[in-house]
Amino acid sequence: MKARSDELQIFVCVIECGSISAAAEQVGQTPSAVSRTLSRLEAKLDTTLINRTTRRMDLTEEGRYFFEQAKLILDQMDQLEERLSSRQQTPSGRLRINAASPFMLHAIVPYIDEFRRLYPDIQLELNSNDLIIDLLEQSTDIAIRIGTLADSTLHARSLGCSPLLIVASPAYLKQHGTPQQVADLRQHTLLGFTQNEGLNQWPLRYVHGDRWPITPAISASSGETVRHLALEGQGIACLSHFMTIDDIRAGRLKVLLGEFNSGYRQPINAVYYRNSQLALRIQCFLDFIQSKLAAYASADFKG
């Protein structure tokens, strides 16, 4: 016999509640009924999931693995039910989105007209912040975060990734020359970041690795400020493809040292609290913006 979804739900509930009696109250059953469900599940799996005594419960190694997998399965089932239900509904209401200024300006704002035509009943509220925010304090439904996520209790969804490119304006290169090797950067004015030191590790292969550490001559807290400094010919910068693609196509910026680029791509994630009332409009926006970001993953590094 195979395990059923209701058995998985009760097993997960017992672990999350910390006791059979608390789980029984949560699911509206008697403690003895919950205990029988656990025993039946263990019998089906032919393994012990929980070591139970009168005072405590401890997950076995198999139980810990089964618990994590069961949570994933139940979450996928919830998402499937939401999506099937959403086919009969029209997304509407206020959707509050927070993102760093460069991402907001270059990867969201250009597509707002199309999004509004697809979902006219969603009222968008767009907020920019270059620092990590508290979603509850800022009344935010979705926050877009660039880079590796720290551990969080929030739900996260990958929207794709964006390469980091070494760029400079034609005016800067005409005046100072074009670096041909990674070591040539030592002779140039480099533009970097004040807030995140990881952004001052450029994705370039050299004899000691594939992350070239720089000491910026000019630092800024915002990627958009660094971009404008590069456009004004103030130096060489390392910036995300999503915020430089138009400049590169128009010839305002040139890609440098493409053959030395390590190929690192910045993860782009949406983080949000799970809320059934917001799930439909959140899902619509995430699906939409993910489709727009797909092109960045296949960017060419060559100058």
Q: What does the pLDDT look like over 137-149, one tens digit per residue?
A: 456 788 898 887 7
Per-residue tokens: 68: 């994590």
What's the average model confidence in pLDDT over 269-292?
Answer: 79
pLDDT-based confidence at 300, cuts 50/70/90? low
In angstroms, the first-to-last Cα distance of the chain is: 60
Per-residue tokens: 73: 């399965």
Angle CA(145)–CA(148)–CA(152) in degrees, nearest 5? 75
Per-residue tokens: 120: 């006219």
What's the average model confidence in pLDDT over 209-234?
Answer: 94
Burial class (CB in 10 A: 0-12, 13-18, 19+), 175: exposed
Per-residue tokens: 269: 């994630």
Instruction: Check pLDDT > 60 for residue 73.
Output: yes
Helices and strands (DSSP H and E) totals, the chain: 10, 13
pLDDT at 233: 97
pLDDT at 6: 85
Instruction: Check pLDDT > 80 for residue 62.
Output: yes
- Distance of alpha carbon 49 from alpha carbon 41, whole angstroms: 9
pLDDT in tens, 29-41: 898 898 898 888 8
pLDDT-based confidence at 276, cuts 50/70/90? very low
Domains of the chain: 5-86 (1.10.10.10), 93-161+266-298 (3.40.190.10), 162-265 (3.40.190.10)
pLDDT at 94: 85
What's the average model confidence in pLDDT over 228-238?
Answer: 97
pLDDT at 137: 42
- Distance of alpha carbon 235 from alpha carbon 231, whole angstroms: 9
pLDDT at 136: 42
pLDDT at 133: 45
CB atoms within 10 A of CB 139: 12
CB atoms within 10 A of CB 86: 15
pLDDT at 279: 65
What's the average model confidence in pLDDT over 104-120?
Answer: 94
pLDDT-based confidence at 275, cuts 50/70/90? low
Assess contact for 179 and 257: CB atoms under 8 A.
yes
- Distance of alpha carbon 175 from alpha carbon 173, whole angstroms: 5
pLDDT at 282: 86
pLDDT-based confidence at 176, cuts 50/70/90? very high
